[in-house]
Structure 1
Amino acid sequence: MESIALKTADMIAEALLARINAGEFNCGKLPGERALSEAFSTTRITLREALGKLEAQGVIYRELRRGWFIAPPRLIYNPLHHSHFHAMAAEQGRQASTEVISAEQVLAQSDIAAALMLAEGDTVYCIRRLRRIDGRAVLYVEHYLNPRFFPGLLAEDLTRSLTDLYDQRYGIRYGGARFTILPGPLPNVAAPALNVAPGSPGLRITRINRDQQKQVIDCDCEYWRYDALCVDVEA
């Protein structure tokens, strides 16, 4: 019985993929699960398995309480390029936007303190932002900054590029970075902002940045929807 269900899910996934490739859902959104179940004469369980197969391939994506959508092209991300989010999107013909969730001074926990080469409990700036591509939330990021380098920064317009702000306001440019990229479940703090259930697959990128004098100035903790990003590095 299980093998029959799996085969049926495969067949439904193939049929849906053919319809997507033919441009049938040009509005960008799939019909509701009930309508699809009736169209394929199958159960919701089998349908969801078929949808999950296409989701795993990056063909479609799901948003809580909104349904299933055709996945747009992934954003190409080369960590070796010192390009900021908005510029990177524009270079690929995409529209980026940034929403500031919060900006405050906090006490550095042990992992952030170690990344910034500070003592645990030292004061740091914490800026939480949600970033969108073509209106779709794809990245939740927490920026932790050593305030010694950026006096008064929290009063600035933090929807703009921090890269540009560092350079234009403080004369600070990136002089190097360390990246750690790990797949894993999205934490509770990031998942709702990205319109997915906590524990959904995601990609965490931690970046520790140095200035032109090789001093550690900030640490970014990025949480990406796994279906929104392609990391492509050419040295």
Structure 2
Amino acid sequence: MDRSLQERLKPVLAEARSEKGRRLPSERELMTRFGTTRITLREALNALEAEGRVYRENRRGWFVSPPRLRYDLLACLPFHEMVRSQQRSARTLLLSAEEVMAPAVVARRLGIAEHAPVYRICRARLVDERRVLYVEHHLLPSCFPQILEFDLARESLTELYRREYGIRVGRVSYELGTCVLSSAGADALNAVRGSPAQRISRINHDQNGRAIDCDDEYWRHDAIELTLSAAPQGGEAIRTS
């Protein structure tokens, strides 16, 4: 890999960062400017993407990554509230909402039989008009009858649960990991299939301890910074090693 090209590209990133669209010149322009080949240029851009400095949108080109969103797992804030609390703009796009048969992993999480009916809601979520999150929700129909009739692009599921069904989230289980975007995720985020992503899987339990839904969030890996704030229980000091 030509690391010197990565360094020579950094002033280009600074120039693009000052522009409204944060878009880099085309690959052809960059090849001419630096006297390099497409393969070498791609290697340098891919390395910068892995560092979270740039990202690629399918058929649109390369862009400088904006500041990361801080995602506090324990705060459990709804998406729009979390984004707006950081003086950013948020928007949700509903991609699909339907009843499907529960895949094995969803059935295990919710404690139901495989292929039992569940509601699946797929949404894309935007920060400052950039598509950064693809999420698949799976809900128990017995807990949320007719919820698919609501405006799921505008409504917070957490708020719907409380207002329409008298259900509040009492406990959340998380599973974190890295992955690459599937076709569905890539299409939703205008990304290239196989692009790196941060996966956050969650199981929500109601006030009685019953698993009521689960979701899988697929974030562009440069879009968030995961944080965790915890206080010791029983007045004991937190130990570190």
Instruction: Provide structure 2 residue ranges, at least 5 long, that are not aligned to the other structure.
Output: 231-241
- Partners of 2:95 and 2:196 in 1: how far apart? 22
Identity of aligned residues (%): 47
Q: Which amino acid aligns with 1:153?
A: I
- Partners of 1:23 and 1:33 in 2: how far apart? 14
Contact kept in structure 1, 2:17 and 2:64, CA below 8 Å: no
1:180 aligns with 2:175: yes
- 1:94 CA displacement: 1.0
* Partner residue in 1 for 2:222: 227
- 1:20 CA displacement: 2.8
Q: Give 3-state SS (helix, strand or coil) of 1:172's partner.
A: coil
- 1:23 CA displacement: 6.1
Pick aligned residue for 2:211 from 216, 220, 228: 216
Pick aligned residue for 1:20 from 13, 35, 45: 13
Q: Which amino acid aligns with 1:82?
A: C
- Partners of 1:70 and 1:50 in 2: how far apart? 14
1:104 aligns with 2:98: yes
Structure 1 residues 80-99: aligned runs within 5 Å: 80-99=74-93
Contact kept in structure 1, 2:16 and 2:64, CA below 8 Å: no
Q: Which amino acid aligns with 1:89?
A: V
1:48 aligns with 2:61: no
- Partners of 1:24 and 1:94 in 2: how far apart? 17
Q: Give 3-state SS (helix, strand or coil) of 1:144's partner.
A: strand
Q: Which amino acid aligns with 1:104?
A: E
Number of residues of Structure 1 aligned to a counterpart in Structure 2: 228
Pick aligned residue for 2:197 from 199, 202, 207: 202
Distance 1:23 1:124, change over 3 A: closer
What TM-score, normalized to structure 2? 0.90
Contact kept in structure 2, 1:19 and 1:25, CA below 8 Å: no
Structure 1 residues 77-156: aligned runs within 5 Å: 77-156=71-150
Q: Which amino acid aligns with 2:191?
A: V
What TM-score, normalized to structure 1? 0.92
Report runs of 4+ in structure 1 exceeding 6 Å deviation.
Answer: none
- Partners of 1:142 and 1:52 in 2: how far apart? 27
Q: Which amino acid aligns with 2:179?
A: G
Deviation by residue 1:13-48 (Cα, 9 ceiling, x = unmatched) = 212213433667523111001111111111112111
Deviation by residue 1:146-199 (Cα, 9 ceiling, x = unmatched) = 111111111111112111111111121110111001101112221121122222
Pick aligned residue for 2:25 from 20, 31, 35: 31
Q: Which amino acid aligns with 2:159?
A: D
- 1:55 CA displacement: 1.3
1:10 aligns with 2:8: no
- Partners of 1:24 and 1:138 in 2: how far apart? 18
* Partner residue in 1 for 2:239: none
- Partners of 1:151 and 1:19 in 2: how far apart? 53
Pick aligned residue for 2:63 from 60, 69, 86: 69
- Partners of 1:18 and 1:234 in 2: how far apart? 36
- 1:77 CA displacement: 0.9
